[in-house]
Amino acid sequence: MFSERLRLARKRSGLSLRALSSAMGGIVSAQAIGKYERAEMLPSSSVAIALAEALEVSLSYLLSPSSVSLESVEFRKLASTKARERAAVEGEVLDHVDRYLQVEEILGIATTEHDDPDGAPFRISDLEGAERAAMSVRIAWNLGGGPIPDMTELLEERGIKVFKLGLPGSVDGLSCRVLRVDGDDVPVVVCSTGKSLERQRFTIAHELGHMVLDIPSTISEEKACQRFAGAFLAPGDELIREVGRRRFSFGFGELIEIKHMFGISAAALVMRMHDLGIITEATLRGVFGGIGRSWRTEEPRPLKRQELPTRFRRLCLRALAENEISVSKAAELLRLRVGEIDGIMAGSTT
């Protein structure tokens, strides 16, 4: 529907109604654009073209029909961000979900059902409860006790849509539910592309904690989810097996080996060992005052691999190969140029 696509594109651009009118050279008023978004009016063809150019989207995107209808994003946080930044993130999330649901609809496949772990949401009464909940999720999802190779793929397999976007300021990530007019809500986790892979993995686990924990007001929600994330990525029994029950010092090389094993940041690893009682408060301070002095801002020996959301891209390429969509539609969905799509299909680019 034109009205909804226009609203999504404007929010993603971070433009107000007045700013969009100005970007179009004032050929239509902000009030008129508001009426287009509320489906009270339709623009002329020349105005529609001007809207597409100002918003840097294709005209076909604005005119593309779809039975997918999204209402809003319910954010868990971002309260500290500016209203314009929040609107831009909301628009970006809605746009990603819209394109994702479009290709699922085109292929006639249902959105992967969200696999809520048995017992969720887990009511906790202390931080140890968050630790136990992390183990309960691992058991419910048959993950065993070892390291998790790919956090992004894990959540996608469980029906949670994962997006990696440029986020404002110091926001590492967020979780939200996108509301659909006709259909189930879509659970979404977003993490920042500006952070290291270790931070992204921890953020995804942290946001999963927000989804599966029932946290009373007497407990810090952020601390509970931090504890959940640490336990989910580096289970206590497995970590103790690797480093021992009690330690008073570590060398740089050993810590780097362990952080690579679990795919966790060096700072989070040290905090995790403190949570488990492997190291004392004094040892914790000693690490961060010595070899770990800069670890909170700069990740030592970062992971080299990538963990990218791949299901959406696979579905788009499948739809193209099966002639369910055109090359131009695939380019629109994937936000690539037609030439790039041709190269991917021919195997000359990735």
DSSP, collapsed to helix, strand or coil, labels residue 274 as helix
Whether 259 maps to a domain, the answer reads no
- Whole-number pLDDT of residue 66: 61
Whether 341 maps to a domain, the answer reads yes
Whether 222 maps to a domain, the answer reads no
Whether 13 maps to a domain, the answer reads yes
Q: Of 65, 88, 110, which marks where a domain is finished?
A: 65
Question: How far is residue 81's CA from residue 285's CA, in Å, rounded to a whole number?
Answer: 32
Task: Please check the confidence at residue 70 and state whether its pLDDT lies above 80.
Answer: no
Closest CA to 210 of 192, 195, 194, 188: 188
Whether 253 maps to a domain, the answer reads no
Whether 261 maps to a domain, the answer reads no
**Structural domains of the chain, count:** 2
Question: How far is residue 301's CA from residue 304's CA, in Å, rounded to a whole number?
Answer: 9
Confidence of residue 67 (pLDDT cuts 50, 70, 90): low
Whether 342 maps to a domain, the answer reads yes
**What are the start-end ranges of the E strands in 47-185?**
70-75, 122-123, 161-165, 173-180
- 54: domain CATH number is 1.10.260.40
> Which residues 6+ apart lie within 8 Å of 259 measured at CB?
198, 265, 266, 269, 301
Whether 12 maps to a domain, the answer reads yes
Convert the pLDDT of each residue in 243-254 to its tens digit: 999 999 999 999
Task: Determine if residue 335 is left, alpha or beta; phi over 0 gives left, psi from -120 to 50 gives alpha, anything else beta.
Answer: left
Question: How far is residue 225's CA from residue 222's CA, in Å, rounded to a whole number?
Answer: 5
Confidence of residue 299 (pLDDT cuts 50, 70, 90): very high
DSSP, collapsed to helix, strand or coil, labels residue 336 as coil
- Whole-number pLDDT of residue 72: 59
Range of the domain at 334: 311-346
**Contact yes or no for 147/242 (Cβ under 8 A):** no
Task: Please check the confidence at residue 169 and state whether its pLDDT lies above 80.
Answer: no
